[in-house]
Amino acid sequence: MEKPDLTIQKESAWQSIPDYADLHVHSFFSDGALHPSRIVQKAAEAGLKIISITDHDCVDGIEPALKEGEKTGIEVIPGVELTAMSDEREIHILGYFIDPHHPELAAMIRLCRQHRLIRYQKILGHLKSAGVSIRTEQLEQLSLLPNIGRLHIAEALVSSGVTANIQTAFRYFLGKGAIAYEKKCPVTPEVVIGLIRRSGGLSVLAHPSLHLKEKELISMIRSGLDGIETVHPKLDASTQSYYQRIALQYGLIQTGGSDSHGRKGFAEIGDYRISGHHISVMKDRLVGRFAACSDNSIIKAI
């Protein structure tokens, strides 16, 4: 795939705002390999000033990241990546500046974890029916049990010699239409967007594809979608340009990041970054939203 010209991240375009951010990183609390504190340290090593850990359907990494950020001088934006389903298609929505203790968000995460455990057992059952056995201990060495996902199962398939690599594991066993595929938690994007807003955050469509139907995108925008991720390893130049135009057309914020998992085959922290200017735009949007609130604690926090 052609690597896009990431003009959004070039320092020459924002010489007066030298801070850079990576707003899409996963820790070992979901399907990443690194502890949140190590992620913050690596962000500092990469010359970043701002980081957001956006674990899948999980906020456990936020607190340790915030603590490490205080030590290193790195700003940590509380984040999450929530999974939604639309017409049998997975859609991922990033939430930024969320309150990780918000009761509705906590309830959604509990629901997703329960569904993840059920899904995990079903996938192992499908694999067993196909003559492929994975020991539970193998998976528990890769992740905390409530957070085991397809990537961990794919790694176990590789380490067991069933497949040569993770891509093959998804193609033949775990991807949509494969023999062990199981859907994720069946929540609509519109529900997720509303939940993120009520938890005090901004909602951003993650790594959008040109396969996304226009009616799906319009529905999300009408439901209050705040932004689109326009810097990501999966976005080629034409896709990036298309969604940059969409963002401008509908007044959406633009975010981006490496989607680093701390694993071989993934981008490194800071490889894909956005200017601090875009963080200011995000904060301005939040300030505008909550300016009329009598309790301005949210505004003070950003």
139-184 tens-digit pLDDT: 655 555 556 777 778 878 887 788 888 888 888 888 888 888 887 7
Task: Report pLDDT digits (tens) over 196-234.
Answer: 999 999 999 999 998 898 899 999 999 999 999 999 999
> What rounded mean pLDDT belongs to the chain?
85
pTM of the full structure: 0.81
- Please report, as a single letter, which amino acid is at residue 108: M
Other beta carbons within 10 angstroms of residue 272's beta carbon come to 25
Which pLDDT belongs to residue 89? 83
Q: Is the pLDDT of residue 92 over 80?
A: yes
Q: How far is CA 150 from the centre of its chain?
A: 15
**Band of residue 106 on the pLDDT scale cut at 50, 70, 90:** very high
Owner of token pair 């494969």: 178
Contact criterion met (CB below 8 Å) for 273 and 257: yes
2-6, 126-130, 224-228: least confidently modelled range: 2-6
Q: Which helix (H) or strand (E) holds 40?
A: helix 36-45
Whether the pLDDT of residue 83 is over 70: the answer is: yes
Residue 247 has pLDDT above 70, yes or no: yes
Pairing of β 50-53 and β 253-256:
unpaired
Q: Which of 7-21, 51-65, 122-136 has the highest mean pLDDT?
A: 51-65
Rounded CA separation 110/58 (Å): 9
Report how far apart the first and last C-alpha atoms of the chain are (Å, whole number): 37
Longest dimension (CA), the chain: 61
Is residue 13's pLDDT more than 60? Answer: no
The whole-number pLDDT of residue 135 equals 67
| pLDDT tens figures, 290-302 | 764 545 544 444 5
- Between these two residues, 185 and 264, which has the higher pLDDT value? 264
In DSSP notation, 47-88 reads T-SEEEE--BT--TTHHHHHHHHHHHT-EE--EEEEEEEETT
DSSP 8-class letter at 267: P
pLDDT at 175: 83
Where is pLDDT greater, at 108 or 13?
108
Question: Is 271 exposed, middle or buried (CB count within 10 Å of its CB: 0-12, 13-18, 19+)?
Answer: middle
Q: Give percent of the chain above pLDDT 70.
A: 86
Give the count of beta carbons closer than 10 Å to the beta carbon of residue 38: 18
- Cα–Cα nearest to 132, from 157, 96, 155: 157
Instruction: Identify which has the larger pLDDT, 59 or 126.
Output: 59
pLDDT the model gives residue 4: 41
Q: Report, as an integer, the average pLDDT of 5-34.
A: 69
C-alpha to C-alpha distance for 47 and 42, rounded to whole angstroms: 9
What is the structure's pLDDT at 223?
96
**How many angstroms separate the CA atoms of 78 and 96, rounded?**
6
* DSSP character string of 100-138: TT-HHHHHHHHHHHHHHHHHHHHHHHHHHHTT----HHH
Interhelix angle 103-129/189-198, nearest 10 degrees:
140
